[in-house]
Amino acid sequence: MTTVPASPLPRFPRDFLWGVSTSAQQIEGAVDEDGRGPSAWDVFTARPGRVKDGSDARVATGHYHRYREDVALLKGLGVGAYRFSVAWPRVVPAGRGAVNGAGLDFYDRLVDELLAAGVRPVATLFHWDTPQPLEEAGGWLRRETAEHFAAYAEVVAARLGDRVAHWITLNEPAELTLLGYGLGQHAPGRELVFDALPAAHHQLLGHGLAVQALRARGVRSIGIANSHGPTWPASAAEADTAAADLYDLLLNRLFADPVLLGRYPDEDLAALLPGPVADDLRIISEPLDWYGINYYQPTLVGAPDPAAAGPADFGGISLPPELPFAPREIEGYPRTDFGWPVVPEALTELLLSFRERYGASLPPVMITENGCAYEGVEDGARIAFLDGHLRSLHEAMDAGVDVRGYFVWSLMDNFEWAEGYARRFGLVHIDFSTLVRTPKASYRWLRDALRDQARG
């Protein structure tokens, strides 16, 4: 049974940007069509045991062929913006060199369809789908990948820059670094632990170079989508607070400080990074028009248990015992079907901490992802999740944080990376055998909430 919140949402500014988000690898399918090259995720999912349900993204939601139907769902929802990602291997199949015009044509059609529906396109240039030829050459561990990324950004902006107003360079470089290169849980499946740090630096360098390429094409609204969440120490003990501080440094400050402050948060850490770091930081910190935050949950962190044997499971991720910190389960809160704690007030905490840490260096903020995994079409738990987080977001805005927009993850159920199709984040249900789309109760709730907001 759907639970509808008893009171309407508080009033957001009339120019507040409401949207939903997706990514190419998770929804498009058509991986062998129109000249698209293989991505690191295509190769990763082909390896037995890498995806929990043994699935892949060859079809996904079929968005490549059903994009008009999906844009109609966006129009019916009443959002002002749609955040999608451009698949690098669909546009530049080898990651560098020859451009695939047929791939660009698809995004041309999608953007035109969005504009005809009155939905503003927000294009993400990279959402983890590194072209496999670049991955085989070292991927984001190599400096050249950042340069190839900037060249690809220029190609996409040259085609779409006249119609796409808002651009995002990277999505969640922290997760690609940690899960893809550090722990091997995501593509490309490397297990380098702290030797994965060059991937963080080169992604950030690629971000800065892409900002320069977009500016050269006249783009005026650029951001990045970094994942962030409060880090809570498991206790006041020195070992726990030190472990929590290190975790926070690696997952939050390592990716925000270079972009917003032009420096790494720790000199010893910066010394481990490749290249002319000081020169690179001037590029990484190219001014942004807004800063995107993907928020899902806080993390409780303590010192590792010296008696622990073997890897520990945390939120579906296998963590090696030799890490110098240990995430713990947060008790006393509802949980999503993914097992993640639902803590709306931590979004307020996060935004206030960003204002305190970055001050005048923090541009306006966009919440570029926020959502939850629940089964069922009558998804009252998702409605409660969104309602609670929007109220917490409004509280942060009342306290003076300049937030300009909010994007739900996700428009539709999709290929959820190493989880396969087992986790459903969508406002729209996808029957993965027929690809039939069915709006959920949360879709109808958000539609009605946006209509109420529009009435003023």
Q: Report residue 29's pLDDT band, with 50, 70 and 90 as the boundaries.
A: very high
Residue 265, helix vs strand vs coil:
coil
DSSP string, 241-264: HHHHHHHHIIIIIHHHHHHHHSS-
* pLDDT attached to residue 169: 99
Q: How far apart are CA 351 and CA 54, in angstroms?
A: 38
As beta bridge partners, residue 101 has none
Structure tokens at 441: 């109760």
* pLDDT attached to residue 313: 74
- Residue 187 gets which letter from DSSP? T
Q: Report residue 308's pLDDT band, with 50, 70 and 90 as the boundaries.
A: confident
- As a whole number, mean pLDDT of residues 194-215 equals 98
* pLDDT attached to residue 290: 98
Residues in the chain: 456
pLDDT tens digit sequence for 345-365: 999 999 999 999 999 999 999
Residue with tokens 């903020």: 365
Structure tokens at 190: 């490397």
Q: Report residue 309's pLDDT band, with 50, 70 and 90 as the boundaries.
A: low
Structure tokens at 393: 């977001």
Domains plus CATH for the chain?
17-455 (3.20.20.80)
Rg (CA), the chain: 21
Say whether pLDDT at 198 is over 50.
yes
Handedness of CA 328, 372, 343, 356 (dihedral sign): positive
Find, among 329, 328, 327, 404, the residue nearest to 362 by Cα: 404
pLDDT tens digit sequence for 221-261: 999 999 999 999 999 999 999 999 999 999 999 999 999 99
Handedness of CA 116, 119, 125, 127 (dihedral sign): negative
User: Which sequence positions are flagged as catalytic?
Assistant: 172, 369
As beta bridge partners, residue 408 has 20
Q: Report residue 1's pLDDT band, with 50, 70 and 90 as the boundaries.
A: very low
